[in-house]
Structure formats: C-alpha cells, structure tokens
Chain A
Amino acid sequence: MRNIKTLIEALKNIHSKETISYPIGEWPGKKYSNIPETLRGKPIINEEKCIGCEACYNACSAFTIKFFNEKDKRRYSIDINKCIFCGRCEDVCPEDAIKLSNEFELTHFPEENEEKRYVKWEKILKNCKNCGERFATIDQINKIHDRISLNINPKVSEEVLKDYEIYSNYCPKCRKILSYKIGINPSKYYLRIGKDLKEMK
C-alpha cells in the first residue's frame, strides 16, 4: 500500500510541462531549455579589435586556432569541430576581440565544412622595407605604437616613437643587419633611458 506514493507522483507528472518544443519555436513550451548569458558557445571574432597578436594561438588548449600567411594577408581560423569551448582564448585576448557567443546549434554536414566548420578572419601584413618579407600585422604594429606612447617616460617618448616608426618597417632579421644603418641601435636607448632613470632618482 505504501506504493501509493509512487502512484501519486506518477499522476502528478501528467500535467508536467517540462518538455521543451525544440526545434520548433514557441510550441507548446519554450523553445530552449536554459541558455544563460555565460554559456560558452561558438567563438566569434571582432575583426576590428583583433590585432593578430596570436595570444589565443599560443594559449588554445586544443590546438584549434591556426594561422598561415597568404600573399599580403595572414589568415586565421578556428576549427569548430576541434574547439572544446573552454574559453581560454577569451581569457588571454588582450583586446577582447575573441568572445564565446551563445550560439550552440552548430550541427553541419561534413560536405559543407567550409562555411560552418571554420571561424575565419584575416589581417593585413606589413612588408619589410628591406627584404620584402611579411612579418607582422599592421594592427599589431600600430597597437604597439599606442602602448608605447601610453606607458613610456614622456621625456624620451618623442624620440622613441619616431624611431619605432622606422624600426617597425623592417622584419626582425633585417633589423639586426640594418640596425646601425637606419639608426635604431638599441644601445642608444639603454644609454638614454639609463641616464633618465638616474636623473629621476
């Protein structure tokens, strides 16, 4: 007779409106179960914010962010199939350019891979003035410029920024070779900054 409790619960459940109406809109219940704002879904890129620093590439826990150079562009891609939606890229991005959206219905046929499988974006690269090699994205170079101007000792800022503009025209290899020729020998900064530091003290 004690089993009556199970029966009562069973009868109570008849009115349960637990079932969602997925995938068909607002019928008869709500469409989705629970989509909190914090949901970690498909990563989206704010291409304007992205500076191409590759922090996400270095941090990605499933090695899913890839990039390669093509002509004057650097192409980045996130493989949705490989992504584990951990949100590490979101954490490390210095510019908040990459965000995990709420989009989680990512089902696709393998034939139509290209559109649905990859999140793609690209950045324009800068040419080395000397050898013509493409070495960094323009946005990243500009960003470094901004950062320098924000954080640098104002006494030397003018000179450094001027030099940086020259400096950022060359790829790392050419910088070494040409450092004296173009007048960006690092020792001069050390000397200068050292002096300033002494003065400040």
Chain B
Amino acid sequence: MIIEIIYFISLIIFNIFLSFIFLFLFRKINAKFQGRKGLLLIVPKDLRKTIGSTKIMQQFYDILKLFYKQTIIPKNSHKKIFIISPIISFILSIIIIPFLYFPIINDAQQKFLFIPFDLLIITYAIILIHIFWNIGAYASASPWAYIGIERSEKLNFFAQISFISSIFSIAILSNSLSLKEIVIKQDIPYILLNPFSAISFILFILVNFNLKPFDVSEIEVEIVSGPFTEYSGKLLGLIELTKTILFYINSILFINIFLKSGEFFSSIINLFLLLIFAGIFVIILSIINNIFPSYRIDQALKIYPILVIIFSSLSLMLSFIYKIFFG
C-alpha cells in the first residue's frame, strides 16, 4: 500500500516537473518565432550566481516566488469562495494526472485506476477547473474580472461543446470510454481516421489557454488580466501552477487519444515518442499563438461558434459513419 502511495506521489511530482519543462518549451518556441533567443537553456558562467545555471525551471521559480509573496484578499470579495476555488481547481488538476496513459508505468497504474469510464472523469475535471476559476474570480468582485468572466464564459460554452464532442466522437469510434482501451485499440492513429475531432480538440485548447486568436478573456490591453486580476501571491501561484499542469495534461491527452500515445515500438522508446509528439503539439499551438493577433470579442463570438459547430458536427458524423460501415 505504502509503495503505491509513494508511487503515485512520485508520479505526480514527476509529471509536474515535466509540465514545467513543457511550459519552458512553449515560452522558448514563442520567443524563437518572435526572433528572440528566449529563456536561456544554459546560462554562461559569469551570470550563474545571479540568475541560476539554467532557465529550464523558470516556471517553477516563478510559481515558487509567488508562493513567497504577500497574498492580498480584496475587501469586497467573498473570502471563502475566493480562496477555496483555486485550491479545488488545483486538486482537480492533480487528480487527472494518474489517469493519463503512460507507456511504461501503465501496469502499476492499472491496478488502482482502471476505471472503465476514466475518460469521462478527465473530461469533467478539465471543464470543472475552468468553472471553479471563474467562480473564484466572480467572488473577487472586480469589474475587470466581471468582464473577463463574461467573455470567458461565453467562449467556454462553445469550447466545452467542442471538447465534449471531440472526446465523444473518439469514444464512439473506439467503442470505449476508457483511455487505456482507446490507446490500445488504435491500429491507425485516430488523427488520421478523424482529423475533425483533433481540430475540435485544438479549438478547445485555444480558448482554454487563452491562446491567440481567441485570448479575449485575458487580453492585457483591454481588461487587465481578466478573471485573475484580483489574485496575487500564493493564490495566483496556485492558479499559475494549475494552468501549467493543465497545459501539460491537455497536450499529453491529445497524444494519448489521437496518436496512440506514441505506442509504436517497445516500451522505453514509447515514452520518448509520447513526449516528442507532445512537444510537437506544443510547437503547433505556439505557431497558432504567434501568427495571429487576437479577435475582438464580438468577432470571436461570431467566428468561434461557427468553427465549433462545423468541426464538432463533422467529427461526430465521421465517427458515426465509421461506426455504421466498419464497426
């Protein structure tokens, strides 16, 4: 029993560690597209004393620093909700990690967490994280947060449709709601079988992480930092940590579902393949993030629903067609 607990704790810590590296990758690639050098991978000797020997864990230090900062709770806010909702969303993000499919550690995981409908748990956890953030922001009673929540909820409504239909079309395709089964049953990667589903997933991620062109809920120049305007110190650190983990979870989940989790060869290579694919996925996200300015809210609300409806219905239809003719 103890061994299993240690196993899960180390699994979570390892994954959080990986998530920091993913965010480093994201920031580095953004910088590269902008023609900058970006965070230094190796800091030259003379500077090591002041800024550390590598910047790969920058996100970790950012968050750690936020934890050491003064936390301010606004006077007018509903204190309990304001504090508790980031904590709940953090716990939710931690809960998702063991459900993810990793080629090597799968067997040990299987004993405990082989739940036939784990995909549903992941889906709802991811959606709930966002909802709790917005509840917490609503409790902060800031006008900028209100505008941010209003925008974020409007877009997230469609984003969730997109996400759910993407997941469900895969579930229909594979005839299962278990992530493990989906991975194992994939003979051909689902991204080839049902590319619309993958696009729906990406559409969801764009809104979920406030990537351009749909970053209307957190755009700095219009509304300071959207829903998170009032958060500071430890709570902001917690939100940042959750965001980092969520970013990581979503990219891994994408590979799990659509690219057979990288399970093409023997086990150790598979893990690397998984991470490499996930890295490529991050690069694609970064490209989209970097070649567009952001939409105005009304433009976003005009275009995004249309995209969502087209791609999610296409993906569901495609899955049904496969189901009818081949399954």
Chain A residues with CB under 8 Å of chain B are: 3, 6-7, 10-11, 13-14, 16, 18-19, 21, 23-25, 27-28
Asked whether, in the complex, the Cβ of B37 is within 8 Å of the Cβ of A19, the reply is yes
| A23-B47, A25-B46 known; A3+B292 contact, CB < 8 A | yes
| Separation of A76 and B44 alpha carbons in the complex (Å) | 41
Contacts of A25 in B (CB 8 A): 44, 46
CA distance A55 to B316 in the complex (A): 84
| Shortest Cβ distance from residue B26 to the other chain A in the assembled complex, whole angstroms | 15
Instruction: Write the chain B residue with the least CB distance to A5.
Output: B291
Asked if B287 CB lies within 8 Å of chain A CBs, one says yes
User: How many pairs, one residue from A and one from B, have CB atoms within 8 Å of each other in the complex?
Assistant: 33
Contacts known (A6-B291, A7-B291, A10-B290); A24 close to B47, Cβ less than 8 A: yes
The distance from the CB of A24 to the nearest CB of chain B, in whole angstroms, is: 5
CA distance A28 to B40 in the complex (A): 11
Chain B contacts for A3, CB-based, 8 A: 291-292
Asked whether A10 and B33 contact (CB < 8 A) given A23-B47, A24-B44, A25-B46, the answer is yes
Measured between beta carbons, the chain A residues less than 8 angstroms from B292 are: 3, 6
Distance, CA A13 to CA B35, complexed state (A): 5
A18 touching B35 in the complex, CB below 8 Å, given contacts A3-B292, A10-B291? yes
* A6 CA / B32 CA spacing, docked (Å): 14
24 residue pairs of the A-B complex, CB under 8 angstroms, read A3-B291, A3-B292, A6-B292, A7-B291, A10-B290, A10-B291, A11-B33, A13-B32, A13-B33, A13-B34, A13-B35, A14-B32, A14-B33, A16-B35, A18-B35, A19-B36, A21-B44, A23-B47, A24-B44, A24-B46, A24-B47, A25-B44, A27-B44, A28-B37
Query: Which residues of chain A have C-beta atoms less than 8 A from B291's C-beta?
Result: 3, 6-7, 10
User: What is the minimal beta-carbon distance from B76 to any residue of chain A, in angstroms?
Assistant: 40
Residue of B nearest to A29 (CB): B37
Q: For the complex, give the distance between the alpha carbons of A11 and B34 in Å.
A: 9
A18 to B46, CA, bound (A): 21
- How far is A14 from B291 in the complex, measured between Cα atoms in Å? 13
Separation of A3 and B46 alpha carbons in the complex (Å): 42
Query: Provided the pairs A23-B47, A25-B46, A27-B44 are in contact, do residues A7 and B35 lie with their beta carbons within 8 angstroms?
Result: no
Give complex CA distance A3, B44 in Å. Answer: 38
Within 8 A of A (CB), among B106-126: none
**A19→B35 CA distance, assembly (Å):** 8
Q: How far is the CA of A196 from the CA of B205 in the complex (A)?
A: 97
Contact partners of A10 in chain B: CB under 8 A: 33, 287, 290-291
Other than the given A10-B287, A10-B290, A25-B46, 4 more pairs (CB < 8 A) read A3-B292, A10-B291, A13-B32, A16-B35
Interface residues of B in 252-296 (CB under 8 A from A): 287, 290-292
Q: Are A7 and B46 in contact (CB under 8 A)?
A: no
A13-B44 Cα distance, complex, nearest whole Å = 24
6 smallest A-B Cβ distances: which pairs?
Answer: A19-B37, A13-B35, A6-B291, A16-B35, A10-B33, A24-B44
A19 to chain B minimum Cβ distance, whole angstroms, is 4
- Complex Cα distance, B37 from A27, in Å, reads 12
Residue of A nearest to B33 (CB): A10
What's the minimum C-beta distance from A20 to chain B, rounded to whole angstroms?
A: 9
Question: Which residues of chain B are within 8 angstroms of A24 by Cβ–Cβ distance?
Answer: 44, 46-47
User: Shortest Cβ distance from B214 into chain A, in angstroms?
Assistant: 15
A21 contact set on B, CB distance < 8 A: 44
Q: Is the CB of A18 within 8 A of B33?
A: no
Cα distance A3–B213 when bound, in Å? 13
Distance between B61 CB and nearest chain A CB, rounded to angstroms: 20
Which residue of the partner chain A has the closest CB to B38? A19
Which residue in chain A gives the minimum CB-CB distance to B43?
Answer: A24
Min Cβ gap A22→B in Å is 11
Residues of chain A within 8 A (CB-CB) of B290 are 10
How near does chain A come to B284, taking the closest CB pair, in angstroms? Answer: 11
**How far apart sit A18 and B31, CA to CA, in the bound complex (Å)?**
12
User: For the complex, what is the distance from the CA of A3 to the CA of B37, rounded to whole Å?
Assistant: 24
What separation, in Å, do the CA atoms of A27 and B45 have in the docked complex? 11
Produce 1/0 per residue, B291-314, CB < 8 A to A.
Answer: 110000000000000000000000
Interface residues of B in 144-167 (CB under 8 A from A): none
Set of chain B residues within 8 Å of A13, measured between Cβ atoms? 32-35
A16 to chain B, nearest CB (A): 4
Contacts of B44 in A (CB 8 A): 21, 24-25, 27
Contact residues in A for B46 (Cβ distance below 8 Å): 23-25
Chain B, residues 7-41, CB within 8 Å of chain A (1/0): the string is 00000000000000000000000001111110000
Closest to A11 in B: B33
By beta carbon, the residue of chain A nearest B50 is A23
Find chain A residues with CB under 8 A from B287 CB: 7, 10
